[in-house]
Amino acid sequence: MWVALPHGRASDSASFLLNFPFSFKEELQSVQAMNNETPFEKFLSQQNEESWSAALAALLRSIHEVDRNATQIWFAFFPLSLFQALAAAENREQLAQRLLLQGDYDLKDQIDSSHRFLYGHRFWPQVKRAIEANADSFAENNRAGLADQILAVAHAVSQQTKTDESLLVGITAVGFMTLRQTGLASFKSAAGAVTIDRKLGNKSPEDILRARAKDDSRGLFGFLKTINNEWTVTWDETDAGARYKLREGQDLAWGAADDQSRDWRTIDPRRVEGPIPVECRAASCGTCWVGVLGGAQKLSDVGAREGKKMKEFGYIDSAEPKPLIRLACQAQANGAVSIVIPPWNGQFGKYLRSLRHNTEAAVPEQNSASAASANETVN
């Protein structure tokens, strides 16, 4: 889970991620697993949600505008807290069913593709190799912080490829977290391929930013129109045909339902009527969550129900009226927007909060037991 901030407050971005600490069972399993980990994997396994939150706070100012939202969205799509909960579960599949997880929520299955909506994905082969080299050469006495290591790898790739470093920081951070959740062996076994069309891949960051900012033309006297305006929703910037129209005031899911250009169910069983997965249309299922790459300010404010349910689902916990994560069935558009659809959905917020509560409740008991033992020793 992550917590969104009002746009422009990068200095406060440590609140993006909620800190759900390990339970004692998780800590024990973590210690056992570390015996087989490389020094770099051990370093990453020691970084909790709070560490990542601080790192992202430090990195955001160094990430190019084209990937600033995308990086935050990616970390919302693949939260460390959910990965840890699944990894520690006695029966992973049973827990996944309990949390109503649908789609492809395992990052290990999409090492090369999960981040294709980042501009930095274009440099993934070079970034992946640099992360692997960093992992292989990492020494146990390395005291550099997480953010500094990410910046160092991004700088090395920048020097090698003659690329603006700001375009590499976001994808490098994503690469570090991907390795954290998949393990070095699986990370290395991935091909390291760019999975977007070459023509679209040749677009500049400025081209993409201009496209996100552009609204549909309303004609010579469009300024006189107050009803029946139509807006374009781009649901995949790496696909020239991934667009649909909706009318002024329609929610994102409603407009998507009119798009019958593809066999959506074959592409993704969750897509029963259009590119955006839907079930209830009442903010009750969490199926239709999306990330907003551009145009968040052109969507309606988050209502009380959407805000409450998003927190329950585990997608976001924010008081911001126009965050980067929305429920498509609730977000009404008054302009063109660019979104990205996550490959999975679920309802895990309550479960993660219960883990946190149980852990916090156990700490005082452990401290009391330690104190009692100390007193017995003294007496």
Residue 327, SS3 per DSSP: strand
Q: Is 1 part of any domain?
A: no
Establish how many alpha carbons lie within 13 A of residue 281's alpha carbon, considering only the half-sphere containing its beta carbon.
10
Q: Give pTM, 2 decimals.
A: 0.86
The encoded tokens of residue 355 equal 């883990």
Question: How far is residue 121 CA from its own chain's centroid?
Answer: 14
Identify the pLDDT of residue 255.
87
C-alpha distances (whole Å) from 197 to each of 71, 75, 367 are: 21, 24, 57
Sign of the CA dihedral running 88, 93, 96, 101: positive
**pLDDT tens sequence across 209-241:** 999 999 998 765 555 555 678 999 999 999 999
Q: Is 169 part of any domain?
A: yes
Least confident of 7-16, 88-97, 200-209, 342-351: 7-16
The encoded tokens of residue 146 equal 């997480």
Q: Is 370 part of any domain?
A: no
**pLDDT tens sequence across 43-86:** 999 999 999 999 999 999 999 999 999 999 999 999 999 999 99
Same domain, 263 and 163: no
Rounded mean pLDDT, 237-266: 93
| Angle at CA of residue 294, ends 162 and 341, nearest 5° | 95
pLDDT at residue 26 is higher than 90: no
pLDDT at residue 28 is higher than 50: no
Last residue of one domain, picked from the residues 179, 201, 223 = 201
Max avg pLDDT among 14-28, 167-181, 192-206: 167-181
Residue 343, SS3 per DSSP: coil
pLDDT at residue 31 is higher than 50: no
Q: Is 111 part of any domain?
A: yes
| Angle at CA of residue 288, ends 211 and 182, nearest 5° | 85
Q: If DSSP states are collapsed to H, E and C, what string results for 213-256?
A: HCCCCCCCCHHHCCCCCEEEEECCCCCCCCEEEEECCCEHHHHH
Confidence label for 361 from pLDDT (cuts 50, 70 and 90): low
Number of structural domains in the chain: 2
**C-alpha span between 124 and 117 (Å, rounded):** 12
Last residue of one domain, picked from the residues 154, 182, 201 = 201
**C-alpha span between 4 and 319 (Å, rounded):** 8
Identify the pLDDT of residue 52.
97
Confidence label for 122 from pLDDT (cuts 50, 70 and 90): very high
Sign of the CA dihedral running 214, 68, 342, 354: negative
Short-list 320, 313, 359, 292, CA closest to 48: 359
- 146 burial class (0-12, 13-18, 19+ CB within 10 angstroms)? buried
Identify the pLDDT of residue 189.
98
Identify the pLDDT of residue 222.
56
Sign of the CA dihedral running 60, 61, 62, 64: positive
pLDDT at residue 175 is higher than 80: yes
Length of the chain, please?
379
Same domain, 162 and 304: no
The average confidence (pLDDT) of the chain is 87
Same domain, 278 and 309: yes
| Angle at CA of residue 309, ends 305 and 315, nearest 5° | 135
Confidence label for 258 from pLDDT (cuts 50, 70 and 90): confident
Angle, helix 166-182 to helix 124-137, in steps of 10 degrees: 60
Residue 31, domain extent = 10-201
Least confident of 15-24, 123-132, 370-379: 15-24
Q: Is 173 part of any domain?
A: yes
φ, ψ at 105 (rounded to 5°): -95, 0
Please report, for the domain that includes residue 301, its CATH number. 3.10.20.30
